């Protein structure tokens, strides 16, 4: 997929673009391109995902002549210049605009405006936990609280905890799951290795101990994707405590409204 294009027309929009590029480093920014319509249409027809910091009407009138169908058109998001609202305009489900919009809204602290009638999406949040043998549940919870605070969440916002199979009988982990009233899911190390490329760090020490290069991040991603049925992403990369490591991942599950 070609690099997404972010188009702004105002000074306030350009300031918002700086925040967006921090959240999405791959964005290419075009400020007041001339001619505007040609720039946007050419990018759209080339299959480039678009973020337009414009009025919705401008976006609709600009793209109307080149819109094809939802199975082939790239995703398009529209944002107001204040960064208060994120609107998936085109290719919400098939093209991934809804999921992309969720990610952008989370990064900006904005409100996501989903207008598709057939379904909506629900965030599935999983905390992945790696720990030393016989680590107290309180030690894990202290790191978990730090991760949740970083994400602006509470334990009640979680859908579960996850770890590697060799920790399935870990007393402190089981006690934490029971105290928080959350399901604990564990996975074989071989399955966690499917997410090696997404790890912020690959640890040879962890590999020697459990058979994969990282537990917290990989377990969080694996469980979030399994529960949502959609690809997940790290919301908070792993934070290391004295005896435990915790990471947070999120995926978006589509829920029918009928």
Q: Are 239 and 246 in contact (CB under 8 A)?
A: yes
Give 210-235 pLDDT, tens digit per residue. Answer: 999 999 999 999 999 999 888 888 88
DSSP H helices, 93-170, are: 97-108, 137-151
pTM here? 0.58
Q: Is 95 helix (H, G, I), strand (E, B) or coil?
A: coil
| Residue found by looking up tokens 């590697």 in the block | 164
pLDDT at 78 over 80: yes
CA distance 19 to 23: 6
CA distance 81 to 116: 23
Residue 97 shares a structural domain with residue 111: yes
Residue 138 shares a structural domain with residue 247: yes
pLDDT at 135 over 90: yes
CA distance 229 to 96: 14
Write down the pLDDT at residue 112.
87
Residue 156 shares a structural domain with residue 216: yes
C-alpha distances (whole Å) from 68 to each of 36, 47, 62, 94, 189 are 20, 11, 13, 13, 44
Residue 133 shares a structural domain with residue 190: yes
Residue 225 shares a structural domain with residue 135: yes
Mean pLDDT of 60-70: 87
Residue 75 shares a structural domain with residue 139: no
The overall average pLDDT reported for the chain is 90
Number of domains in the chain: 2
Q: What is the CATH number of the domain that holds 78?
A: 3.40.50.11220
CA distance 1 to 105: 22
Residue 24 shares a structural domain with residue 38: yes
**Which pLDDT band, with edges at 50, 70 and 90, does 257 fall under?**
very low
Q: What is the CATH number of the domain that holds 149?
A: 3.30.420.180
Write down the pLDDT at residue 121.
66
pLDDT at 156 over 60: yes
Q: Report residue 22 as tokens.
A: 């921090």
pLDDT at 254 over 90: no
Of 69, 97, 116, which marks where a domain is finished?
A: 116
Residue 78 shares a structural domain with residue 148: no
| Residue found by looking up tokens 């790696």 in the block | 130
Q: Are 118 and 232 in contact (CB under 8 A)?
A: no
Residue 130 shares a structural domain with residue 242: yes
Residue 186 shares a structural domain with residue 238: yes
Of 62, 83, 116, which marks where a domain is finished?
A: 116
Of 116, 139, 161, which marks where a domain is finished?
A: 116
Domain that holds residue 94: 5-116
Residue 32 shares a structural domain with residue 71: yes
C-alpha distances (whole Å) from 26 to each of 74, 191, 237 are 16, 28, 19
Residue 22 shares a structural domain with residue 126: no
């Amino acid at each position: 997929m070609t690099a997404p294009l972010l188009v702004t027309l105002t000074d306030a929009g350009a300031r918002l673009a700086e925040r967006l590029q921090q959240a999405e480093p791959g964005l290419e920014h075009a400020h007041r391109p001339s001619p505007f319509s040609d720039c946007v249409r050419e990018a759209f027809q080339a299959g480039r995902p678009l973020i337009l910091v414009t009025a919705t009407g401008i976006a609709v009138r600009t793209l109307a002549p080149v819109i094809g169908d939802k199975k082939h058109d790239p995703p398009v998001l529209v944002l107001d210049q204040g960064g208060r609202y994120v609107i998936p305009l085109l290719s919400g489900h098939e093209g991934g605009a809804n999921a992309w919009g969720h990610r952008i809204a989370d990064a900006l602290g904005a409100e996501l405006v989903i207008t598709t009638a057939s379904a909506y999406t629900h965030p599935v949040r999983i905390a992945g936990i790696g720990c030393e043998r016989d680590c107290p549940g309180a030690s894990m919870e202290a790191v978990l609280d730090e991760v949740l605070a970083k994400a602006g969440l509470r334990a009640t916002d979680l859908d579960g905890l996850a770890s590697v199979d060799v920790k399935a009988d870990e007393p402190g982990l089981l006690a934490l799951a029971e105290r928080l009233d959350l399901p604990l899911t564990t996975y074989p190390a071989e399955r966690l290795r499917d997410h090696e490329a997404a790890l912020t760090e690959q640890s040879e020490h962890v590999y020697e101990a459990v058979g994969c290069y990282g537990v917290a991040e990989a377990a969080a991603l694996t469980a979030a994707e399994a529960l949502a049925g959609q690809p997940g992403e790290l919301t908070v990369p792993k934070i290391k405590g004295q005896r435990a490591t915790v990471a947070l991942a999120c995926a978006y599950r589509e829920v029918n409204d009928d």
